[in-house]
A and B are shown apart, each in its own frame.
Chain A
Amino acid sequence: MVLCRMKIIIMSEMFIHPSVFFILGGLFIPFLKGRIKKGYMIFVALLAFFAVFIMPYGTYGVYEFLEWQLTFGNVDKLSKVFAYIFTIMGVIGVIYSIQVDNDGELIAAFYYVGGAIGVTLAGDFLTLFLFWEIMAFSSVFLIWYRKSEFSVEVGFRYLLWHVTGGLILLAGIILQYNLSGDLTINHSPFHGWWPTDFQSLASFLIVIGFIVNAAVPPFGSWLPDAYPAATVTGAVFMSAFTTKTAVYALIRVCSGSEILIILGVIMAIYGVVYAVLENDVRRLLAYHIISQVGYMVAGVGLGTQMAINGVVAHAFCHILYKSLLFMGTGSVLYMTGTSKLTELGGLYKTMPRTMIYTIIGGLSISAFPLFSGFVSKSMTVAAFGQEHLMWPFLLLMLASAGTFLHTGLKVPYFIWFGKDRGIKAQEPPWNMELAMIIGSLFCIGLGVFYQPLYSLLPYPVHFHPYTLYHVSETLQLLLFTQLGFFFLIKKLWCENSISLDTDWLPRKSAKALMWFTNNPLSRIEYNIIGEIYEFIIEKPMMRVAYYFMKIDTIVVDGTINGIGRIVMLCSQKMQKVQSGQIQHYAMIMLTGVIILIIIGVVLP
């Protein structure tokens, strides 16, 4: 009976904000130790998932703040599917990182996940902005806690990008609020190339704010800069949340903005081109995040029901396979101490299981049939085919070949085969492996049983991934890419190099600015402005100060000295009472006590 009632209470639909578990739960991490701490963290992450599971559709958590109405829980199909994947990723990420000793890193990760879920459920722009900034400021610690020589500067660059993006977003929000008097998140796409009136300027600024986080070029260079510099576990979290919350926000606010189609296709190709040149595995994967998010951004730009379904499904699968890839390569970094392809090779003898998980991630991102990418990426690309937009369609197919070329072939080949460098390594700790197994199961599971995912999507799905033609098309594309890979494998050996990205301009101009400040500007300041300052301000100022000093010595000091003399006199009298001998004090105290007794007892 009791059990039955409990079951009803638990299974009945109720709204508890899932971020609460991560944000409040994170606070208790430093007070726990050992196994209890590990268990606690996984439990908190599971609770958050459960909170999403029982979350009913509707609007919750509405608060009045000053003159605004803040909505913390706006649950519809779109926000719920993102909340699902973020909490699933939270569980996987936490399992992967429970062996981390640094509490700060774990708390940062918890806040980061909490922030991402908060953005997803936000019903108004102010709440969205709040969680948006929580994400930026917590994730930067995942870079700083790497504690390497370059972490500090990379972290600051990361923060600068996100603060700038955040401020542009805020400007857009304020403008939007001034125009409409309403902070509710509503659909306001940006059309055309350039803002023409205030309404389109507001949408334009909001789009810019979002696409900085979605790593759309030319604002995307923070991603390949920051993610490879993050900690092993930090990169797993980061690969999942920042860009995908931006995709979510773009869907919610800007779907149908045509400019995003072009930007998305450019992104998809640009990521592939840079991946060819890249030597650091985790940076290569970071460029492939840009490439994959390009599909999503393009799909958001198209904005048809099929495209949006495809984008959401792709974001869902992407989080799982990308984190799996970052977990696999992170394990290699964790066990060998390097993530450079020029220093890796021949690891299949010592880390074969990690290789299999990573290859599963690679096949998923490449949209191989029976793996998760196949049921999601193809829907996005097919949406372009259906609208007869041939150039985006063909370029996205080209990028698909590039994805398989790098993530499916180049990464596994050069880490686990290639040239055997005789590195002594072994499989990672059990929890890291468990997280990879869960990720792999999801990747294969979603590829085979895709119906549950399709039923979560915001619109009804009329797309069947496993048609004969579609399977044949994909297999041909991918397998002949593989043929090309082995054909040109000599060209793909990496070099010890970095690739200049769009952040070249800010980084170099910052250096130029510093030089300008330290040399010509400081000289001008010292020789000209300094002289003028001395003549016009400093000398008259000294004169005025002189008179003030006179007043000070005569009037103010005179008064103070007088008071001082009186105090002195009093204290000389007092001194006589203070003999400094303990027996005198004791006597005085005793006298006092006796007087008290007399007052208290005898007198009444």
Chain B
Amino acid sequence: MNLLKIIEAFRTKTMKRIAYAMLILIIVIDFFIPRHEIHFIGDGIPGFWSLFGFVACILIILISKWIGRLGIMQDENYYNE
């Protein structure tokens, strides 16, 4: 099936390299984008939202897992005992 081939094509090493190249490209482009409405300091720094996104993602995963380990995560039969 064609759809399957397209999906497979997205999973190759080449696509991965292209994806990394795009990440660098959007930071580079961000340097040249006009800024009309600066609401706070981060809006003025090129590439700020890249850093924000990356750090946010890492923080969400690590902090959530940490909170889960504090006792939030329980066995599936927790309420039935």
B61 x A405 contact (CB < 8 A): yes
Q: Say whether B23 faces chain A, with CB atoms less than 8 Å apart.
A: yes
Q: A571 contacts the other chain (Cβ, under 8 Å)?
A: no
For residue B18, CB closer than 8 A to chain A, the reply is no
Q: A393-B39, A477-B49, A480-B23 are in contact. Are A273 and B67 (CB under 8 A)?
A: yes
7 pairs, A vs B, C-beta closer than 8 Å: A469-B37, A477-B53, A480-B23, A483-B54, A484-B54, A484-B55, A507-B79
Task: Report the separation of the CA atoms of residues A273 and B72 in the bound assembly, to the nearest whole angstrom.
Answer: 11
User: Which residues, 1 to 21 on B, are CB-close (under 8 Å) to A?
Assistant: 1, 3-4, 7, 11
A-side contacts of B22, CB under 8 Å: 479
**With a CB–CB cut-off of 8 A, which chain A residues contact B57?**
401-402, 405, 480-481, 483-485, 487-488
Asked whether, in the complex, the Cβ of B75 is within 8 Å of the Cβ of A497, the reply is yes
Inter-subunit contact B73/A495 (CB<8 Å): yes
Chain A contact-residue range equals 35 or more
Q: Which of A277, A467, A481 contacts B73 (CB 8 A)?
A: A277
Task: Other than A390-B39, A469-B34, give 8 A-B pairs with Cβ distance below 8 A.
Answer: A273-B60, A276-B68, A277-B73, A479-B50, A483-B54, A484-B55, A496-B76, A507-B79
Enumerate chain A residues within 8 angstroms of B73, measured Cβ to Cβ.
Answer: 277, 495, 497-500
For the A-B complex, the count of residue pairs with Cβ-Cβ distances under 8 Å equals 150
Q: How far is the CA of A393 from the CA of B40 in the complex (A)?
A: 10
CB pair A476–B75 under 8 Å, yes or no, is no
Of the candidates B33, B54, B63, the one whose C-beta lies within 8 Å of that of A468 is B33
A390:B40 contact, CB within 8 angstroms:
yes
Residues of chain A contacted by B60 (CB below 8 angstroms): 272-273, 276, 398, 401-402, 405
**Contact of B7 with A352 in the complex, beta carbons under 8 Å:** yes
A484 to B57, CA, bound (A): 6
Interface string of B21-39 (1 = CB under 8 A from A): 0110011011001111101
Tell me if A472 counts as interface (CB < 8 A to partner B): yes
Q: Are B3 and A484 in contact (CB under 8 A)?
A: no
Chain A residue numbers with a CB within 8 Å of B27 are 476
Can you name the residue of chain B whose Cβ is closest to the Cβ of A492? B61
Would B53 and A488 count as touching, CB distance under 8 A?
no
Checking B29, B52, B58, B68 against A277 with a beta-carbon cut-off of 8 angstroms, the contacting residue is B68
Complex interface: chain B residues within 8 A of A488 (CB): 57-58, 61-62
Residue among B11, B34, B50, B55 with most chain A CB within 10 A? B50
B26 touches A475 (CB 8 A): yes
- Shortest distance between the CB of B2 and any CB in chain A (Å): 10
Which chain B residue has the least Cβ–Cβ distance from A497?
A: B73
Measured between beta carbons, the chain B residues less than 8 angstroms from A480 are 23, 49-54, 57
> Is A37 close to B, CB under 8 A?
no
B3 lies within 8 A of A352 (CB): yes
A349 neighbours in B (Cβ, 8 Å): 4
- Please give, as numbers and ranges, the residues of chain A lying within 8 Å of B68 by CB-CB distance: 276-277, 499
Given that A401-B56, A483-B23 are known contacts, is A498 also in contact with B50, CB under 8 Å in the complex? no
Q: Does A197 make an interface contact (CB < 8 A)?
A: no
**A388 at interface, CB cutoff 8 A:** yes
Q: Chain A residue with minimal CB distance to B6?
A: A352
- Interface flag for A460 (CB, 8 Å): no
Which 7 residue pairs of A and B lie closest in terms of their CB atoms, listed nearest first? A484-B57, A276-B64, A480-B53, A476-B49, A401-B56, A477-B53, A385-B39
Chain B residues positioned under 8 Å from A397 (CB to CB): 49, 52, 56
Given the contacts A277-B64, A480-B51, A487 and B58 also touching, CB distance less than 8 Å: yes
CB distance from B38 to the nearest CB of A (A): 9
Decide: B61 and A472 in contact? CB cutoff 8 A. Answer: no
Minimum CB–CB distance for B16 against chain A, Å:
9
Among candidates A274, A491, A497, residue contacting B76 with C-beta atoms closer than 8 Å: A497
